[in-house]
Amino acid sequence: FVLTIGGAFLFDRLSLHLHQHFVLYSYQSYLASTDQLTRLANRHVILEKVTTLEKNRASWGVILFDLDHFKSVNDTHGHAGGDAVLRHFSIVLNEHCPAPITVGRYGGEEFIVIIPDCDLYEPIHLAETIVAAVQQTPFVMQDHAVSITVSAGIAYAHHHPAETVFKQADIALYEAKTQGRNQYRLYQS
């Protein structure tokens, strides 16, 4: 009887420790894969996703988004206001990007969308939708609305290495910025 109770007690303690270990491991995995401000995938997750797509020789596309005049938002509303705008934009991205699409923060005010099936989810249509949604959704900060716009650059992999595709999307993004912002551009070789 004493052995049975002792065994049950030890089993209970072991179960508790295993559960705590699992919860801690899950939380650490979440922290390692998530941008803490926006709760989107971080750069590491984005690169893993692209590596998988390249290994599978899949056709994929990328959209780079950059918030227009973000420095002035930080200057006017402080870094807390800028952080709130980044979180707001991440919500807009999540609302318009279905599950197989990977959405992440690329750095600063740049965001990235990896589209694994360009036949099912057309990058140009997605970029157009998001650019319009951001312009039509004013961000309310304290007691007034702040107008936000975003520019986007699109590139298709076409069996090019990820580094090349990212550079192409960046070139297209730069073109969208220099041509007036609040628009998207497709990389043209």
Catalytic residues: 109
Residue ranges in the chain assigned as alpha helix (H) = 2-33, 43-55, 70-96, 123-136, 162-178
DSSP for 12-67? HHHHHHHHHHHHHHHHHHHHHHB-TTT-SB-HHHHHHHHHHHHHTT---EEEEEEE
CA of 85: how far to CAs of 9, 110, 139, 145, 148, in Å?
A: 51, 12, 7, 11, 8
